[in-house]
């Protein structure tokens, strides 16, 4: 296996927050964290809340003309990649937010409270 | 290289804590952190302590009928993947715990003190 | 895709801090974090400061006889992999520091202040 080819493919699955912020009409963020709302407390502004454990059942509510960008707590977990895989397998255009909500908060980007 | 094939293979190396907890007789957790005991302080309950730097020498103490699940401090490091690779290369069945000890603690799952 | 081959290639892109510390004349560390200096505050001792967003323009200042080791805030982000890809695509020898600056700090390894 070729290192460059592996890196190109691995990186093609993720997207930077700058790219997302520059094209708000193109990208729809999805918070796929499975934690209860009281642990999550806040989420990225205007993102959908679809916990990964419910995503397979919610696919029919999504729009194939949009590009979905999923995020978990941080960039090292596998949950975002599981969500991207499920979306790609079902012919959706999807990426993982490259620094997850941790990086978004670190850059002081807009959040909103998770409603009960 | 195909994105879906890469994600499927990449994700097939890791396993979720729920799957491990539901099959305690099948999975044996291994703490492969190299840090000294005073830095580790605690570890996942009932996990073996085999620092990665000693794993190659300890392979003969492991059981090929079991499935090993290794964990490091967090999900982003490479140490867990190095341990899985070494185990797979030696014909053991092995996975990386997908959120490492950081995720296990975040879910308030059982720990135990590291003994000196 | 074969799990072992994927892990071998994935891991061949990163390098451990011990290996770097044992061969200081061979490896040159590069801090590729894009954050402002006041957020970074400190960096790994003797590392170059080349934010990822400027790396493409700085390639001509690098030396093809050296081996470059890039690092970001932590091991889970994609920025280090983007930098390694760019360096490999331009025929430089390059790795990602496997635990990033987070792991370096955790081991109490030498840092220096980022100058304004």
The per-residue pLDDT for range A35-48, each reduced to its tens digit, is 888 889 999 999 99
Can you tell me the ipTM of this complex?
Answer: 0.92
Q: pLDDT averaged over chain C?
A: 94
Q: Which two tokens stand for residue C1?
A: 């895709």
Q: Which two tokens stand for residue C63?
A: 């030396």
The shortest C-alpha distance from B72 to chain C (Å) reads: 11
Of C1, C14, C99, the CB nearest to B9: C1
Residue range of the domain that includes A89? 3-113
Are B18 and B107 in contact by the 8 Å Cβ rule? The answer is no
Q: Does A76 contact chain B (CB < 8 Å)?
A: yes
Tell me how far apart the alpha carbons of residues A48 and A53 are, in angstroms, rounded to a whole number.
Answer: 14
Short-list B50, B51, B74, B64, CA closest to B94 = B64
The per-residue pLDDT for range C70-95, each reduced to its tens digit, is 999 987 789 999 999 999 999 999 99
Tell me how far apart the alpha carbons of residues A5 and A33 are, in angstroms, rounded to a whole number.
Answer: 30
Residue A65 pLDDT exceeds 90: yes
Is the Cβ pair A77, C79 closer than 8 Å? no
C-alpha pair distances (Å), B62 with each of A31, A81, B21, C18: 40, 31, 20, 27
Is the Cβ pair C2, B12 closer than 8 Å? no
Q: Which two tokens stand for residue C22?
A: 């044992």
Q: Does C13 contact chain A (CB < 8 Å)?
A: yes
Q: Which residues of B touch A8 (CB under 8 A)?
A: 1
Are B27 and B94 in contact by the 8 Å Cβ rule? The answer is no
The per-residue pLDDT for range B4-33, each reduced to its tens digit, is 999 999 999 999 999 999 999 999 999 999
Give residues with Cβ within 8 angstroms of A15, minimum separation 6.
Answer: A27, A69, A95, A96, A97, A98
Average pLDDT value for residue range C2-17: 96
Short-list C104, C90, C107, C91, CA closest to C33 = C104
Residue A75 pLDDT exceeds 90: no
| CATH code at position A62 | 3.40.250.10
Percent of chain C past pLDDT 90, that is, above it, reads: 84
Give residues with Cβ within 8 angstroms of A11, minimum separation 6.
Answer: C78, C81, C82, C85
| Confidence category of residue C46, pLDDT binned at 50, 70, 90 | very high
Tell me how far apart the alpha carbons of residues B14 and C113 are, in angstroms, rounded to a whole number.
Answer: 38
Higher confidence at residue B76 or residue B2?
Answer: B2
Q: Which two tokens stand for residue C65?
A: 């006889």
Q: Which two tokens stand for residue B67?
A: 């499935």
> What's CA A60's distance to the chain center, in Å?
17
The per-residue pLDDT for range B83-114, each reduced to its tens digit, is 999 999 999 999 999 989 998 998 899 999 99
The per-residue pLDDT for range B51-67, each reduced to its tens digit, is 999 999 999 999 999 99
Average pLDDT value for residue range A23-37: 94
For the whole model, what pTM was predicted?
A: 0.91
Is the Cβ pair B77, A76 closer than 8 Å? yes
Burial class (CB in 10 A: 0-12, 13-18, 19+), A9: middle
Of C13, C74, C82, the CB nearest to A3: C13
Q: How many domains does chain A have?
A: 1
Q: Does C108 contact chain B (CB < 8 Å)?
A: no
Residue A116 pLDDT exceeds 80: no
Tell me how far apart the alpha carbons of residues C8 and C101 are, in angstroms, rounded to a whole number.
Answer: 23
pLDDT of residue C74: 84
């Amino acid at each position: 296996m070729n290192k460059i080819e592996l890196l190109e493919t691995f990186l093609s699955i993720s997207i930077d927050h700058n790219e997302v912020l520059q094209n708000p009409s193109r990208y729809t963020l999805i918070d796929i964290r499975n934690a209860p709302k009281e642990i999550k407390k806040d989420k990225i502004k205007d993102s959908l809340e679809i916990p990964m454990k419910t995503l397979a059942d919610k696919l029919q509510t999504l729009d194939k003309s949009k590009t979905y960008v999923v995020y978990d707590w941080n960039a090292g977990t596998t949950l975002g990649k599981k969500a991207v895989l499920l979306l790609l397998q079902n012919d959706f255009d999807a990426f993982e937010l490259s620094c997850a909500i941790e990086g978004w908060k670190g850059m002081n980007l807009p959040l909103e409270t998770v409603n009960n």
